[in-house]
Amino acid sequence: MSFKVFIIEDEKALLETLKLNLELERYHVETCSSGDLALAQIKTYNPDLILLDIMLPVLNGIEIYKQLKDQEIATPVIFLTAKNNVHDKIEGLKLGADDYITKPFDLEELLLRIHNVLKRNNPQKQDLTLFRFDNCEINFSTFQVLTVNGKREDLSKREIALLKLLVDNVNNVVSRDEILDKLWNKDENPSSRTIDNYILNFRKLFEINQKDPIHFQSIRSVGYKFCV
Ligand code: CA
């Protein structure tokens, strides 16, 4: 089953790029470039997620969002905000938006945020198991990964669980304590080296240059961060 995403964005080039990339990720996509037409289309299409630009002609994103709430349409919304418009961002989150992303944004980060919002809102749907970044792939249900060298490898349950935890918190630090708490039993007592070894292995699998990692970063005395 594919998720349906509805994009409201008046920058045509950005709209086309988003549509194309979401379709490559096997989402169904419909789009709209004018605020006043959005609501009727949302009702017809009944999407699982809405990407909503704030600065739109006729009716802006915040107004559209208020109308959705007024009509009790509970579809999760990710706002697309202009870089400097902190006010819009705060306004959107105050109203209860699920997330926002600042333009210009990294496509992979947006895809991850979409993935996470959909997962939060659809815990019963199991088809969001494949995560791609660069040329790599992680399959959270088969525990198989495609490495930076194009090889398929099987990982352990704990390795996949750690990848999942890091990916779910993309671009944010996950503390050592949280990792130990979630992935190890109290009586196992792993040394701090243990997690380091997992991270070293992830770098071997997924980093072009293990000595200068882009994706799997250690934050000294705090924890680890997965970055895209
Ligand atoms: Ca706009």
> How do residues 25-69 score in pLDDT, each as one tens digit?
889 999 999 888 899 999 999 999 999 999 898 899 999 999 999
Q: What is the CA(21)–ligand 1 centre distance, in A?
A: 19
Tokens 């494949």 appear where? Answer: 130
Q: What is the CA(78)–ligand 1 centre distance, in A?
A: 14
Domains by residue range for the chain, with CATH: 4-121 (3.40.50.2300), 130-226 (1.10.10.10)
How confident is the model over 65-95, as pLDDT tens digits? 999 999 999 999 999 988 677 777 777 777 7
125 has pLDDT over 70? no
Q: What is the CA(31)–ligand 1 centre distance, in A?
A: 13
Average predicted confidence (pLDDT) for the chain = 89
Q: What is the CA(65)–ligand 1 centre distance, in A?
A: 15
Q: What is the CA(5)–ligand 1 centre distance, in A?
A: 18
Alpha helix segments (H runs only) across the chain: 12-24, 35-45, 61-70, 86-95, 107-121, 157-168, 176-183, 192-206
175 has pLDDT over 60? yes
Residues whose CB is less than 8 angstroms from the CB of residue 5 and which lie 6 or more positions away in sequence, other chains included: 22, 27, 28, 29, 30, 47, 48, 49, 50, 51, 114
Q: What is the CA(56)–ligand 1 centre distance, in A?
A: 5
In angstroms, the CA 100 to CA 52 distance is: 9
More confident residue, 126 or 148: 148
Ligand 1 is an ion; residues with CB less than 5 A from it: 10, 53, 55
